[in-house]
Each structure stands twice: as structure tokens, then as C-alpha cells.
Amino acid sequence: MFRVLILSFIFIFTFAAQGISSVSVQDIDREFESVPKSREDLLQTESMILEALEQSGNSESLSWRLARTYYALGKRSEEEAGKEYYQRCMARANQAIELNNRSAWGFYFRGVCQGKLGEIEGIWNSLSIIKPLKKDLKKALEYDPSVSHGGPHRALGVLYLKLPGLLGGSVDKSVDHLQQAVAVGPKYADNYLFLAEALYEQENYQTAKVTLKVLLKVVEGSNDDTADAQQVREKVKTLMEKIDPWIESQATHAQ
């Protein structure tokens, strides 16, 4: 009788403990993807992932999701705090890769967070990271080009656009990668914005303008009135104001 009571208590305690808090990957993604996505929302996502890690132990899927959260927090933070978040992002991405050496998400976030740290330090102080950064993004591309809505293509496109030719930059390579990013992630605004910027640098003004018009439709179709969406519209306006005089100039010369 005593043994039955003990087993009953163990059974009840085990299931009660499991019921106290059970954070699923779906819950985490739902919280991360909610809009508007403020810094406070991201800190809530971080707490959920840390809780899930405590419950289940290390996993690739939780590690890269934490890297993703730190990347987003880094973008919303001042420089010093941003550096700290990008370093945390790289550490969690490394963990994802250790758990799965074909983790596209792990390689992707290790690459983009390393790139963000390079931006903060300045390109000439970050020459040593260019080669490993490209390697990580190409690994992500090899394992799954669809992560983060064409993220590996997008990140490589931006990298080739920002790098001076002396360091391997290429507008043509940038346009090629960003066109592929759009093909993989046709509803993701940044793919179009960066492609339009690359087309502008390529002096392909008409196609850049068409790309911006498609981008506006994507933003309007999302019914997204967040600060991010408003920021995209402002960037579109600024780039249009740079493109239109060139188009008019080409039309004048053609006459």
C-alpha cells in the first residue's frame, strides 16, 4: 500500500511539473513573428527560449532561434549593446552548428551577426572576417537557401554590394544573389529593397524603379503599419528621388 502511494505521488508530481510551463517552438515563433515587434517583445521571446532550453536541454532548433532573437535585438540596440547581442548571436549560432554540422540557420546567423560586428568595427578593421563570413553564408546557401526568406542570397547580395571591388565586391554578383533572394522570398520586403539599391548602383534605373513599385505592393499587401513598414516606405521614397532624375536624363539623351 505504501509503495502504491509513493508511486502515485511520483506520477502526480511528474505530470504537475510538466504542466507548470511547456513552451513549444510554435509558441516561440508566434511570439517572434508578432507585429509590431518591439524590443520588449523580443526580450519576451528570449525568456521563452531560455525557459524551453531549461525544460528540454540544448537543441539546434532552440539555439538558432535564440541566435535569431539576439540578431533582432542587436539591430534595435545602441552600438555597445548591439555588439553584445551580436556576440551572443554568434555564440548561439555556434552551438546550433555544434549540434548539427549542416545547420543552415546556424551558419546563416553566425554569418550575418559576424557581418554586423564588422559593420560596427568598420570594414578596414574587419578584413579578417570577410572570408569566414562568405564561407558561412555559402554553407547556409548549400544546406537551405530558403532560410529567413532567402536570407543567404540576401546577405551575400548585400555583402557584394557593400564591399569595395578591391576586397571582392561586385555589383553584378550582388544583383544576381538578390534576384535569387526575391525568387525564394517573394513576400519579403528587404529582398526587393536591397535589389533596387543594387540595380541603382548597376545603373539599371528602370528595373530598379519597377522593383520599388513591386516592393510597395508587397508592403501594402501585408497590411503592416508597423514602424518597420513605415521605414521601408521612406527608403523607397528616398531611392525613387535618386532614380527619377537619371531616368529623365536617359530619356532626354535618347531624344
CATH of domain 38-144: 1.25.40.10
- What is the predicted pLDDT for the residue at 3? 46
Instruction: Report the mean per-residue pLDDT for the chain.
Output: 88
Provide the whole-model pTM: 0.87
- Outline which parts of the chain fall under CATH 1.25.40.10: 38-144, 145-255
- What architecture (CATH level 2) is domain 145-255? Alpha Horseshoe (1.25)
- What is the predicted pLDDT for the residue at 224? 59
pLDDT digits (tens, 9 = 90+) for 47-93: 999 999 999 889 999 999 999 999 999 999 999 999 999 999 999 99
Using alpha carbons, select from 154, 78, 61, 80 the residue that is nearest to residue 111.
Answer: 154
Q: How many residues in the chain?
A: 255
Give the integer Cα–Cα distance in Å for 171 and 158: 9
Q: What is the DSSP letter of 202?
A: T
Give the integer Cα–Cα distance in Å for 208 and 213: 9
Give the integer Cα–Cα distance in Å for 233 and 193: 10
pLDDT digits (tens, 9 = 90+) for 1-27: 444 444 444 433 443 333 344 888 999
